[in-house]
């Protein structure tokens, strides 16, 4: 019938974080979350988290502090996370920067090992 919504939204998972969430996207069975710590002393760097969601809780897989220009002038509402799911690519957008984030692959790992002289 015309009164029925075209889509149905259902809450399947809920958990609380210690930081403000500026954006969220899928990464296989994990979640990529752009987080912002609210601090009384001033603005903090935003963080990109990979979380494993659980019923009522989550486990942190990894966290990266982002070095974005002008971060000390911004609040949580100045950051945005865009997800390009088919490419496992994430764009972190701030007023002065756009950062492209994606999972490492074997080539990235080899390049890092060579760059840091971690080979025999």
pLDDT in tens, the chain (120 residues): 578 888 888 888 899 999 999 999 999 999 999 999 987 777 789 999 999 999 889 999 999 999 999 999 999 999 999 999 888 899 999 999 999 998 888 888 888 888 888 877
Place of tokens 């958990």: 15
Q: Are 35 and 46 in contact (CB under 8 A)?
A: yes
Measure the CA–CA gap between 50 and 33, rounded to whole angstroms: 6
Please give the distance of CA 103 from its chain centroid, rounded to a whole number.
12
Note whether residue 87 is domain-resident.
Answer: yes
The number of domains in the chain is 1
The verdict on residue 31 lying in a domain is: yes
**Residue 62 maps to a domain:** yes
Q: Is residue 69 part of a domain?
A: yes
The Cα 1–Cα 86 span in angstroms is: 34
What pTM value is reported for the model?
0.81
9 belongs to a structural domain: no
Judge contact between 83 and 32, C-beta under 8 A.
yes
Q: What separation in angstroms does the CA of 13 have from each of 10, 54, 115?
A: 9, 8, 41
Q: What is the pLDDT, as a whole number, of residue 1?
A: 56
Residue 110 three-state SS: helix
- Domain membership of residue 84 as a residue range: 20-115
Q: Is residue 42 part of a domain?
A: yes
Confidence (pLDDT) at 11: 87
């Amino acid at each position: 019938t015309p009164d029925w919504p075209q889509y149905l939204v259902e809450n399947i998972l809920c958990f609380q974080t210690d930081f403000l969430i500026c954006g969220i996207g899928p990464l296989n069975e994990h979640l990529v979350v752009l987080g912002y710590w609210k601090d009384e002393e001033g603005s903090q760097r935003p963080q990109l988290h990979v979380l494993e969601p659980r019923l009522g809780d989550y486990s942190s897989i990894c966290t990266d502090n982002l070095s974005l220009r002008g971060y000390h002038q911004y609040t949580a509402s100045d950051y945005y996370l865009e997800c390009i799911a088919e490419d496992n690519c994430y764009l972190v957008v701030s007023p002065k920067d756009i950062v492209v984030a994606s999972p490492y692959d074997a080539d990235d790992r080899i390049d890092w090992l060579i760059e840091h002289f971690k080979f025999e």
